[in-house]
Amino acid sequence: MAFIEIAGVDLRYGGQPGADDGAGTLALANASLTVGRNEFVSIVGPSGCGKSTMLKLISGLVRATRGGVRVAGEEVRKPLKTVGMAFQNSTLLPWRNVRDNVLLPLEIVEPYRSQPKSEMAAKRKRADDLLATVGLGDFGDRMPWQLSGGMQQRAQLCRALIHEPAILLLDEPFGALDAFTREELWDVLQNLWLHTPCTVILVTHELREAVYLSDLVHVVSPRPGRVIASNAVPIARPRTLGMTFQPDFVDLVHACRHHVSAGNAT
Amino acid sequence: MKRSTVERLAPWITTLALLMLWQLSIMAFHVESFVLPTPIEAIEQIYTNRYPLMVHGLATLGTTLLGFAFAVVFGLMLGILVGSFRLAYVSLYPILIGFNSVPKAAIIPVLVIWFGVGTVPAVIAAFLLSFFPVVVNVSTGFATIEPELLDVLRVLGATRRDMIVKIGIPRSLPFFFASLKIAITLSFVGTVIAEIIAGNNGIGNLMLIASSNFNVPLVFAALLVVGVMGVGMYAIFAALETRFTSWSVRGAGLGVEYAAGG
């Protein structure tokens, strides 16, 4: 059964909320998408096609103008609490050190929120352990601006995962990084996911990134966006960077590129 | 000399140079001391009238700090309200701007009718002059929060209170401290104006009496005292600013070394 289900959704920005009167910009038109539990899927497509909007729909940050979004069988009406999110820009709070940034969700989400102060040491340990898995073990006390872009994104991933969310939403998390750092972080993300499985939806421009990380790559048409093709990636895990030069990998990337171009042409 | 030494001495040297310029131009143009006294005469007056200046200076300082404290509390609350609720912003901002455009000196006679002559109108004047920059700065801090920062909390199901406490307030602290440095100096202005118009003590009252006796050097002595108190309070808040918002100051902005105001 589908864990996340977007069914026939229209989404219009700038119009009257709830009124389908044709005003504003139509971001999504009759978009549908289903994601199974603990699946890793990517959404690719030209810029401005409504990829990020799909993430906002799933997380409950925006409501559909028409159609419905269901997560675990429940209609999404307000922001979900079982979501972790990471963005392209570093959204670490500049006044907190890295560890306290990672701990932020535990100050908001139950049951951690109402736990007594005595749990604090355990939580800090947990944050440090998680930071260590992404290679930031010694950086808990640093301030965000003392970290490089790639390190900030690692810390952001930790913050998105510390409360063990059922769904991880990634909005071009590696988009602003150089190619080498990006590829390093693919492995970081893959390892995190293999270690503690959750449902991941990754929005990206990078087709190689999408194929490398995903079980399924969904291609979205130009605005108003809808899913026009879905490519399964039957490559065994854990995947390594060496595989990205194998013919089957390259063919999959080409197939995705073909779908994106075909979407642009129509 | 080391660069840091130069920077530490620079304000003193500049002040001294301006005082010398003042002294020399009066000597050069033979200005009478009841028109404009020399700085040396003013400083002499500070010495001879040190007790009244201290008593009235402390009265002015107390009044100013009281009005300033009200301004900080009220300005902070109003700033948070205006900054975090769109409707509050839309409905209150025009009134605030209009209110701040009214010359406060014109209100003081009305305050005297309501509260009588003395400290109360001076406290209110200090408050009225200084709360506005606090409101504007704090609300700007709140209104310019990056939406992604709020999304991070929103997807976790955070309440509005969470967002104000975890993001709004820390994010606005640099704005808040910047406004305190402006507000404290404006507080002094408010107090002294009220004391001149309707005081029975304080530096402003002392200046009024001195000028009606044509003791212009004493007027300038009093002005110097107010100026020094203003700089002193400014330095205190600048130091607090560096202490609490060091995260927002990474180094030299625009090639200007960050100075803590001291």
Distance CA A35, CA A45 (A): 18
CA A156 to chain CA mean position, Å = 12
Q: Do A80 and B167 touch (CB under 8 A)?
A: no
CB atoms inside a 10 Å sphere around CB B193: 21
Residue type for position B234: Y
Closest alpha carbon within chain B to A157: B152
Of the candidates A87, A91, A108, which has its C-beta nearest B156's C-beta? Answer: A108
Tell me the angle at which helices B50-84 and B39-48 cross, rounded to the nearest 10 degrees. 100
Contact in structure between B259 and B7 (CB atoms under 8 Å): yes
Sheet holding A40-44, edge to edge: A83-86, A167-171, A199-204, A40-44, A216-220, A227-232
Residue A18: what pLDDT?
A: 52
Q: Do A94 and B148 touch (CB under 8 A)?
A: no
pLDDT tens sequence across A210-253? 999 999 999 998 888 888 888 888 988 889 988 889 999 999 99
* DSSP-assigned letters across all residues of A100-135: HHHHHHHHHSTTGGGS-GGGHHHHHHHHHHHHHHTT
When the pLDDT of each residue in chain A is averaged and rounded to a whole number, the result is 87
Is the predicted pLDDT of residue B25 greater than 90, yes or no? yes
Sheet holding A66-71, edge to edge: A25-36, A2-13, A66-71, A74-75
Distance CA A66, CA A20 (A): 8
Distance CA B187, CA B63 (A): 9
User: How confident is the model over B183-193, as a mean pLDDT?
Assistant: 94
**Residue numbers of B between 227 and 246 with CB closer than 8 Å to A:** 245
pLDDT tens sequence across A148-199? 988 999 999 999 989 888 899 999 988 888 888 889 889 989 998 998 889 9
- Residues of chain A in contact with residue B170, where contact means CB-CB under 8 angstroms, are 93, 95-96
Residue type for position A221: S
Of the candidates A78, A87, A95, which has its C-beta nearest B148's C-beta? Answer: A87
Distance CA B215, CA B205 (A): 13
* Domain extent listing, chain B: 1-30, 38-246
Is the predicted pLDDT of residue B253 greater than 70, yes or no? no
Is the predicted pLDDT of residue A22 greater than 80, yes or no? no
Is the predicted pLDDT of residue A53 greater than 90, yes or no? no
Q: Do B156 and A95 touch (CB under 8 A)?
A: no
Half-sphere exposure of A197 (CA within 13 A, CB side): 9
CATH of span B38-246? 1.10.3720.10
CA B262 to chain CA mean position, Å = 15
Residue B256: what pLDDT?
A: 42
Instruction: Give, as one character, the DSSP assignment of residue B233.
Output: H
Distance CA B23, CA B38 (A): 5
Q: Do A108 and B167 touch (CB under 8 A)?
A: no
Sorted by sequence, the CB contacts under 8 Å of residue B132 that are 6+ apart come out as B75, B96, B99, B100
The two beta strands, A216-220 and A227-232, are antiparallel
Residue B252: what pLDDT?
A: 44
Q: Where are the alpha helices (DSSP H) in B199-215?
A: 203-212
Residue A1: what pLDDT?
A: 61
Give backbone dihedrals phi and psi of A244, rounded to 5 degrees, phi first.
-65, -10
Residue A216: what pLDDT?
A: 92
Q: pTM for this structure?
A: 0.78
Res. A109 pLDDT band, cuts 50 70 90: confident
Res. B255 pLDDT band, cuts 50 70 90: very low
- Residues of chain B in contact with residue A83, where contact means CB-CB under 8 angstroms, are 155-156
The two beta strands, A25-36 and A74-75, are unpaired
CB atoms inside a 10 Å sphere around CB B62: 15
Is the predicted pLDDT of residue B235 greater than 50, yes or no? yes
Q: Do A109 and B152 touch (CB under 8 A)?
A: no
- Residues of chain A in contact with residue B156, where contact means CB-CB under 8 angstroms, are 79, 81, 83, 105, 108-109, 163
Best mutation target among B156, B159, B161, B247 (most A Cβ atoms within 10 Å) is B156
Give backbone dihedrals phi and psi of B229, rounded to 5 degrees, phi first.
-60, -40
Distance CA A59, CA A82 (A): 9
CA B5 to chain CA mean position, Å = 28
Distance CA B68, CA B141 (A): 20
**Residue numbers of A between 56 and 75 with CB closer than 8 Å to B:** 59-61
- Residues of chain B in contact with residue A61, where contact means CB-CB under 8 angstroms, are 151, 154-155
**At A14, which helix (H) or strand (E)?**
none
* Separation in Å, CA B57 to CA A149, B202, B213, B227, B234: 53, 6, 20, 11, 16
* Domain extent listing, chain A: 94-157
